[in-house]
Structure 1
Amino acid sequence: MDDGAGTSLFPLHRCKTLHLVRHAQGIHNVEGDQNYKAYLSPEYLDAHLTPLGWQQVDNLRKHVHTCGLSKRIDLVITSPLLRTLQTSVGVFGGEGYTDSMDVLPLMVANAGNSGRAAISSISSPPVMAVELCREHLGVHPCDKRRNISDYQFLFPAVDFSLIENDEDVLWKADIRETKEEVAARGLQFLKWLWTRKEKEIAIVTHSGFLFHTLSLFGNDCQPLIKKEICKHFANCELRSMVIVDRSMTGSVDTTTNYPGKIPSGLDLPSDIADKKKLEKEEPHSSGFA
């Protein structure tokens, strides 16, 4: 039962920790932040990160290593667009890749005009691309992805197996998703997360997707908490949140709970146990005078 202060308890195995990240600054953000119509420009098709965006990636990478988060993440989920892929592997990827290694890199050198060296997949959590966490679909060329076969060349160790179509069949030139449709897709994405066994997941996605999805939550919280959950993300901002499964959508087993009473035996409160012990120890009559 929740008390008057708003404190509550919930089983740990029905919770997941989500580390939500908005991609770093893309070339479309520079002009688009000043003039929204710039997002309609074809030159920003599947926009890549700016040099400032890569600096933001470096800063966040340093933070997740300094605070120890990089060692706790079980899985990185990324939207399959160039700017989110670059952010994902730049922040959470390994270091020290050389061509002599017999493992695939997360990113090849200079992928997406990055001017960056290849990024190693060694000592990195797995990175998986998922369509459900894309930005608003349609109209804006910056939100249209390239073919998956192109991405597989640029990001060889990223897992694209959940994406069904090589071409972007979801993006329409003349139809833009509504806010309600984005939010519904966000809920579908969160429901899908419960099918995953991983408990601590980083999700690299987009401002609109995060805002419209998170705005559905926090209505039962204090207003400042609601604001903290829902406010817009800055480029390369990370916020950590816990999501709970109140409806048993997932059927995960706990890895830390222990059943107790093994081996089986009498299990009574201490006062009752003491009484029974005294009764057992009292001398009994032998039946002789």
Structure 2
Amino acid sequence: MAPTIILVRHAQALHNLSVLGRAQCNSLKENLVPKITGPNAELDVGLIIVSPMRRTIETALLAFGELGIPMEAHAGWQENSTQPCDTGSPIPSLRQEFPQVNFDHVDPVYPDKTSPSGKKYFNTKQAIMARGQEVLRDLKQRKEKAIIVVSHSGFLRSGVTGRWFMNADYRVFDFVDEDGEKDESGLVKIKEREWTVKEGGLGWSFEEAVELGDGLPDEEPALN
């Protein structure tokens, strides 16, 4: 059976997590941790996946770092744009800064997303929607019962879910064909659980949905 996935947007960050960001992480921790640990846990989380960027890693460590759950970095969950704030640091520096995180399986091309080598990470509708499908296929094959992913609002919304995520808010999804619904398009699809479907698990997010790919550019970027 495919795992349940808990998708989390990172908390507010200004270089490092801001005072507000740390407060957001505390709210996330207080709300979600009881649902994944202890006698009344609804979700048996066996893995935490993070986008290899400081704000996502810091959010994951502050909210879930004391749980002892393995934490892995994955380049597929990085943000869409090529702006400096959305382009990650080289993995060797992140390894030194965050020894709690496993960086062994990060795509070696990271953080490149402007050269031909980084084409799968381009900020285009085609590339981002394809990347969304790739990360979902990867999750669907995992053996854990539930997985937390800490990622970014743009990619979560336009590439994966069609839903809005405010800072540190989360939504919970199951794979569509795991509950008897079949899809003949060949696409991997997910369905949000009722208790987060409106404004997110913390109630901080917009309720309305958008189409996947909404607002993404169609043109290829200029290559370095």
**Shift in Å, 1:233:** 0.6
**CA deviations over 1:3-34 (Å, ceiling 9, x no partner):** xxxxxxxxxx2x3211110000122xxxxxxx
Q: Distance in 2 between matches of 1:125 and 1:244?
A: 26
Alignment partner of 1:78 is 2:50: yes
Q: Distance in 2 between matches of 1:243 and 1:206?
A: 20
Q: Which residue of 2 aligns with 1:242?
A: 174
Equivalent in 68, 80, 100 of residue 35 of structure 2: 68
Q: Distance in 2 between matches of 1:81 and 1:62?
A: 23
Counterpart amino acid of residue 70 in structure 2? P
Counterpart amino acid of residue 69 in structure 1? I
Contact kept, 8 Å, 1:24 with 1:56, in 2: the verdict is yes
Pairwise mapping of residues 147-186 of structure 1 onto structure 2 (< 5 A)?
A: 147-165=90-108, 168-171=111-114, 177-186=123-132
Q: Which residue of 2 aligns with 1:279?
A: none
Contact kept, 8 Å, 1:191 with 1:249, in 2: the verdict is no
Q: Which residue of 1 aligns with 2:8?
A: 21
Counterpart amino acid of residue 90 in structure 1? L
**Shift in Å, 1:196:** 1.8
Q: Which runs of 5+ in 2 are unaligned?
A: 39-43, 116-120, 189-224
Q: Distance in 1 between matches of 2:187 and 2:68?
A: 29
Q: Distance in 1 between matches of 2:92 and 2:75?
A: 15
Alignment partner of 1:126 is 2:88: no
Structure number with higher strand proportion: 2
The share of aligned pairs that are identical, in percent, is: 32
Alignment partner of 1:195 is 2:119: no
Q: Distance in 1 between matches of 2:110 and 2:156?
A: 24
Q: Which runs of 5+ in 1 are unaligned?
A: 1-12, 28-46, 95-122, 216-229, 251-289
Equivalent in 158, 167, 172 of residue 212 of structure 1: 158
Runs (4 or more) in structure 1 with deviation over 4 Å come to 245-250
Q: Distance in 1 between matches of 2:122 and 2:96?
A: 29
Contact kept, 8 Å, 1:135 with 1:209, in 2: the verdict is yes
Contact kept, 8 Å, 2:48 with 2:71, in 1: the verdict is yes
Counterpart amino acid of residue 4 in structure 2? T
Contact kept, 8 Å, 1:149 with 1:166, in 2: the verdict is no
TM-score, with normalisation over the residues of structure 2?
0.69
CA RMSD of aligned residues (A): 2.5
Q: Distance in 1 between matches of 2:128 and 2:110?
A: 21
Pairwise mapping of residues 35-74 of structure 1 onto structure 2 (< 5 A)?
A: 47-65=15-33, 67-70=34-37, 72-74=44-46
Between the two proteins, the alignment pairs up a number of residues equal to 172
**Shift in Å, 1:179:** 3.2
Counterpart amino acid of residue 104 in structure 2? S
Q: Which has the larger radius of gyration?
A: 1
**CA deviations over 1:221-275 (Å, ceiling 9, x no partner):** xxxxxxxxx331100001111113457999xxxxxxxxxxxxxxxxxxxxxxxxx
